[in-house]
Structures are given as C-alpha cells and as structure tokens.
Structure 1
C-alpha cells in the first residue's frame, strides 16, 4: 500500500493542517502506512509558512485510535518479527516528532484512545479530552509492555497513579487523563465541531479558551491514598499482596486485574516505568521502549496474549512464566538489552 492511501486524510483549511485517522471500522488502529503518512505530513507542514497549527482527529464515532494493528504484530512475531520492528522503529520516531513539533499540535482525544493512540496524541502540545474519552495503556493484557512513549507519561504521573494505570491496564476517563498528565484541556464532546471551527477562525489559544471547561473530579485522584500506598511495593507480587490486603474494594479489584495479566509483562512494565522516571527525555524513553518491545517479540506471552484476546478470543491465555513468583530478575533484565539496530533520532535533532 502506498502513502497515498485514504487511511489518513490530510487537508489544510485556513492555515490549519488537519490529520484524520480514517479506519473507523478498526477504531482507527494504526498501520505502518498510516505512521508513514502522518510523519510525512508533519514534516511538510513544519516547513510550510502557510500552516500555523496541526489538528489530529479520528474518523467515526468510536474514538481517536484504539492502538496499533495488533494482529499484524502477531503475525510478524510468529515470523521472526522484522515487520513489527520496522513498524515500531517508525512509530516511535513519529511519537518523538510529535513531542518536539515546532507548531501547536492539537490532539482531540475523543472516545477510545489506547496504546498507539496515546502515542500520537499524548505527546502533543495541546491535548484535549472530552466526556466520552476512554484512555488506556492496556498492553499487559496481551503480554506486551506500554510503549509509544507511554512509560514517559506514566512515570511522570502523580504518586502511584501511573503504575496503577500501567499494571492494571484499565481505562480511565478524560478527567483522570488530565490528572495523570496525559491531557491538558476538557471540552464537551458536543462542542468539538465548534471548537475545531474556532481553531480555523480564531487560532488555537482563543479556541481553547472559548470551549474548555473545568473537568469533573478525577476518580483516580480520589483514590490516591490506597494507590500510593499499595503501588510503593518493590515487586509486582508485593504490590498485588498490598492491594489484596487493603480494605478498599477498588484495591482488591485492581489486584485481581493485575493477577490476570502476563506475569513477565507486568514485571517488565514495573521496571520500565521506574526506569523511565530516571531518563531525561522522551527520546531516551523511546529508545528503552524499543529495546523492550523488540525483546517482547521473542517472548512466549506476546503471541499467546494476542492469540487469546484478539485472534481466537477465548480470553484464556496460558502465560509463561505462569506466575509472578516464577519471574526472575534475569527474565526482566533480558528485555532491556540493546536492540540491533537500536532506535535513533538523527533527523529530529
């Protein structure tokens, strides 16, 4: 498929570059070709004085983007992983390109925004959520680890909120997204058409000022006490034990959720988020994520997780190692070995 595909619609209206992810039947899941189209459009517009800002939206009613094309990753992982590595290499470079974009980049995070959707939205300079936003980094449920710069955002969330989102993989609201640092502004879904029209007419700052409202209280922030306490544990097993032992029902639910996830993916996720906190830049974190993602292609759990959740849909994965106690430090450390080749960003410097 060429970069002339209709999977991403690009247009310039009144000095605003519009990118519309256009696979609505797949909730706009990202293909490699879509990544290529977006990156080229952003490069062209960065040097075009006739484009003042960029607006990213998703076609259809269900959401901005449900993530990457996981079935393609599944088939690639079963065939030496070359295509998956190439996809991630270009996808993560796009995430970095968005993170350092020289013009306002408005991401409208309406409806479902998960995984790769966070990657193309969460690093923008103006991130808008709505009353329909359903945001998540659900990778642990398929034996994978949060990527696309997700661990950069998760590691910088207040207290234990980022680890809770990462290890549970559970979706969170627009209000929660703002509290976690995944978004900036809350605009009612019904106002989005008027908001985008105002961007063209009056500019980004004026449009945000005219349409953003105070978000409802964050459900996750209200639970900071038990989240911060329980997610302070050294290992995932410690965290699950603390959650199980807590009197809050929500804590017990989180324990059950994490216990159902891939043990190795959960352990590597914990390490990834904590190590990301020590890295200075989004690009540094993306290099780490590329190593982890590349290593995951050789794991049992990525193929098994996608099989169980997406391909066969029996929702009954057989994880290996089978339990958190069976995961060793060496198992985790293998995921952080340099990739060959490693991710680089020369053209973004």
Structure 2
C-alpha cells in the first residue's frame, strides 16, 4: 500500500536526488500528510485521444488517499467504454514524485480506533490496481520521480511504464510491519531470478535506468522529454497498442542518459539468486551469514531491522503469488492486509518510523524463529464473506 509525504529536510534533498540510506527512504515513503481530499487532488482530463490522470498532491509527493481512489476508479472504467478514448495516461504533478504511496497513518489511526477504514481502503485500492491490470486499452504510467507502494500499484500492472533519470523505486513495507502489497505478490516473483525477493525483503532502492534494467519500467527517457512524449501520445489518431508502443520505443531508443551505465545489482545477481532462493527466512539469513561478503553482510544488517513477521509473510506471499493470477494475488493480499491490521507490528512500525521517529520498532515476535507456521496459516486463511471479490 505505500505511503507518503515527507519530512521537510528530506523533501529539500529530493530534487537533487543525492544518495540517502534505506532508512531515510523508508521515512520518505511512510511519513504522512493530511488525509482530507478534494477533487483538485486528482485531475481527470480528456486530451486528444487520451484520458489523462494527474495525481495532484505535489507537496505530499502525490500520495494516494481514499478520495483519489474513489475518483480514479469510476473514471478509468468510463474511459474503458468510451469509443473516443484510445489510451490512458497517468502521471504525478510536480517534479519530485510520480506517487510516493498511500495514507498509512490514517489507516493505523482508524485501525486502533476500531473503525472501518482498514477494510475499505485496501479493498478499494486493490480494486483500482486490478482495474489497471485488466484495462483493455493501452495504459501508460509516466513514473518520473519517487514511485513507491501505492504508486507502484497504479503503474506496474499497466501496459507501459516510462522511467526517467529521476525515478526512484522501492517497496520498503517490511520496515513497518507490512508486506509489499498492491500486487507485489504478482510482479515481484516474476522479475529476473530472485531479484523481486531481494527487493521485497530489503526495501532496496532502484534509481533511474536501473528501474528499466530490473524489468519494472518498460521504457526509459530523459525527464525533460516527458511533456513532449505526452503531447505526441495524445495527438495520435485512433491509436492501437502497437502505435503507442512505437512512440515509446522511439523516445527510448533516442535517450542518451546513462547509456553505458551497468545495472547497480548486476555484479551481485548471482549472489542474490543463490542467497535468496532458500525455502525459509531462517535459511536466507543463514545463507547471508555464511557468505560473509560485504554485500551479503550489508543485506543481513538491513533484514535484521525488518519485522520478522513481515519477512516471513512476504516470503510466502511471493512464493505463492508466483503461480497465481493477478486477481488471486489481490485476494491473498487483502487477507494479509487484514491480518496486519489485527496484529502488533504494523501499529508499532507506524509509531516508530512515522510518529515518534525513533526508527527502532519493538517487533513482536522479535525473532524469526518465533513466527510460527500456524500463525502464518491464519494470515493466509480465507475471510469467507469478507474476502475481496474482483
């Protein structure tokens, strides 16, 4: 589900995209903004042949709230049926973010108070993600800037994802007692080798061309060409998916940025594929310890800070999701979301990382060995009439 808005000091750093550590990425991803919404927070426009969605909360890094979701879903379904709408484009306002996530602080507060938001937010967010994944018309996400959590959900399931040198991708949910949802159980295990497992466990940040090299983005262009690309797409006459692909391909091929750059994880992929291929989190941790290389020990240090429950839940989510349909993955993830709402670690993670900012959550259980298979089974169990229906 992903999360927004950010401490001002971090926000000032973003335009320069200077390196910052993973904990800062997590704070960036999870810090919260006001939950009130208005129609101006998402712009829904017809431009030429295209329906254009603009997430319009630049000060909150275009974080998704329930009002935005409730405007986007019916408009998407309407454009699907409109004979004069041939493609759909989604983008974020401002120059910092596509979408940094969703309104997790409000969900935590509602969950503590016994209110209904934890049920309907995830239900409606996943329905929107599924509508994007099943949209019959070309769907183009212009993922320029920060793209995390909820921003991944409204981009990765569409036909095309266009990254730039300013794109920053991460799924750091295990750091706050959640799991990489919004269909993470579908797309992450389908990345090359065990790359998706690595990204899910560690919250590792991919930047710029690496988002394309990882197989998350379908195209890569200069950020300054985004406006021209959008104009060319909207000016197409009755375009097919192939026509849209041709335009995107032409921009991608002309892009000179980071042409010679090697994939940031390229030299480590053999290790990632080996170390993260174990059948249990305990084995993955043992693999990292046994390997002992600087890379392995760095990942071990990161993983030991994450919620043990979230790590085990995530590993099973990805292993099961690898052979499920997108719709079945969302059904599974909805069950997991509700299990997190019933548990301890999500509320503790939000407290530590977002509210108190002491960044030292006290997880329960505190170690992997104490997260039992019986507990995990209960998290994946059907909710009966409460299950997500798509």
Give the TM-score, by structure 1 length.
0.94
Equivalent residue number for residue 302 of structure 1? 346
Give secondary structure in 2 for the equivalent of 1:18. Answer: strand
What number of residue pairs does the alignment pair up? 344
Q: Deviations over 1:108-128 (max 9, x none)?
A: 111110011110000011111
> Aligned to 2:54, which of 9, 14, 20?
20
Large movers: runs of 4+ above 4 Å: 1-4
Give secondary structure in 2 for the equivalent of 1:196. Answer: helix
CA distance in 2, matches of 1:110, 1:173: 11
Equivalent residue number for residue 356 of structure 2? 312
Q: Does 1:212 align with 2:252?
A: yes
Give the Å deviation of 1:275.
0.7
Ranges in structure 2 where 5+ consecutive residues have no aligned partner: 1-34
> Aligned to 2:128, which of 68, 80, 94?
94
Q: Deviations over 1:103-157 (max 9, x none)?
A: 1100011111001111000001111111111111111011001111111001111
Q: Check conservation: 2:49, 2:235, Cα contact below 8 A.
A: no
Equivalent residue number for residue 225 of structure 1? 270
Q: Does 1:108 align with 2:142?
A: yes
Q: Check conservation: 1:162, 1:180, Cα contact below 8 A.
A: no
Give the Å deviation of 1:81.
5.2
Q: Check conservation: 1:7, 1:34, Cα contact below 8 A.
A: yes
Give the Å deviation of 1:4.
6.3
Equivalent residue number for residue 342 of structure 1? 387
Q: Check conservation: 1:175, 1:217, Cα contact below 8 A.
A: no
Q: Check conservation: 2:183, 2:333, Cα contact below 8 A.
A: yes
Q: Does 1:192 align with 2:226?
A: yes
Equivalent residue number for residue 274 of structure 1? 319
Q: Does 1:59 align with 2:93?
A: yes
Q: Deviations over 1:73-127 (max 9, x none)?
A: 1112212252121011111011110001011100011111001111000001111
Cα RMSD (Å): 1.8
Ranges in structure 1 where 5+ consecutive residues have no aligned partner: none
CA distance in 2, matches of 1:26, 1:84: 21
Residue range with higher mean Cα deviation, 209-218 or 219-228? 209-218
> Aligned to 1:326, which of 370, 373, 384?
370
Q: Check conservation: 1:53, 1:104, Cα contact below 8 A.
A: yes
Equivalent residue number for residue 209 of structure 2? 175
CA distance in 2, matches of 1:3, 1:305: 25
CA distance in 1, matches of 2:311, 2:207: 22
Q: Check conservation: 2:37, 2:65, Cα contact below 8 A.
A: no
Q: Check conservation: 2:219, 2:249, Cα contact below 8 A.
A: no
Q: Check conservation: 2:38, 2:67, Cα contact below 8 A.
A: no
Q: Deviations over 1:203-262 (max 9, x none)?
A: 523421321147643222331111011111221121122113224322211111111000
Q: Check conservation: 1:15, 1:52, Cα contact below 8 A.
A: yes
Equivalent residue number for residue 131 of structure 1? 165
Give secondary structure in 2 for the equivalent of 1:74. Answer: helix
Give the Å deviation of 1:182.
2.1
CA distance in 1, matches of 2:266, 2:335: 32
Task: Indicate how the Cα distance of structure 1 residues 245 and 81 shifts in structure 2: closer, same or farther if over 3 A, else same.
Answer: farther
Give the Å deviation of 1:3.
8.8
Equivalent residue number for residue 5 of structure 2? none
CA distance in 1, matches of 2:187, 2:308: 22
CA distance in 1, matches of 2:188, 2:245: 27
Equivalent residue number for residue 281 of structure 2? 236
Residue range with higher mean Cα deviation, 41-50 or 175-184? 175-184
CA distance in 1, matches of 2:115, 2:188: 27
Equivalent residue number for residue 186 of structure 2? 152
